[in-house]
Amino acid sequence: MDRIDFTGRVAIVTGAGGGLGRLHALALAERGAKVVVNDLGGAVDGSGGSASAAQQVVDEIKAKGGEAVANGASVTDFAAVQAMVQQAVDQWGRVDVVVNNAGILRDKSFAKMELADFRLVLDVHLMGAVHLAKAAWPHMVAQKYGRVVVTTSSTGLYGNFGQANYGAAKLALVGLMQTLAIEGARHGIHVNALAPTAATRMTEGVMPPEVLAALKPEAVVPAMLVLASEQAPTRAILCAGAGTYEAAHITLTRGLHLGLAPDTPERLLAALAQVTDGAGQSVPQSGAAQADNEVTQALAAR
Rounded Cα distance, 256 and 295, in Å: 11
Query: What Cα–Cα distance (Å) separates residue 239 from each residue in 21, 33, 78, 247?
Result: 16, 23, 29, 6
User: pLDDT by residue (tens digit) across 88-108?
Assistant: 999 999 999 999 999 999 999
| Sign of the alpha-carbon dihedral angle for 65, 69, 74, 76 | negative
From 222, 225, 224, select the one nearest 243 (Cα to Cα): 222
Rounded Cα distance, 136 and 153, in Å: 23
Catalytic residues: 166
| Sign of the alpha-carbon dihedral angle for 49, 135, 21, 17 | negative
Say whether pTM exceeds 0.85.
yes
User: pLDDT by residue (tens digit) across 40-81?
Assistant: 985 665 565 567 899 999 999 999 999 999 999 999 999 999
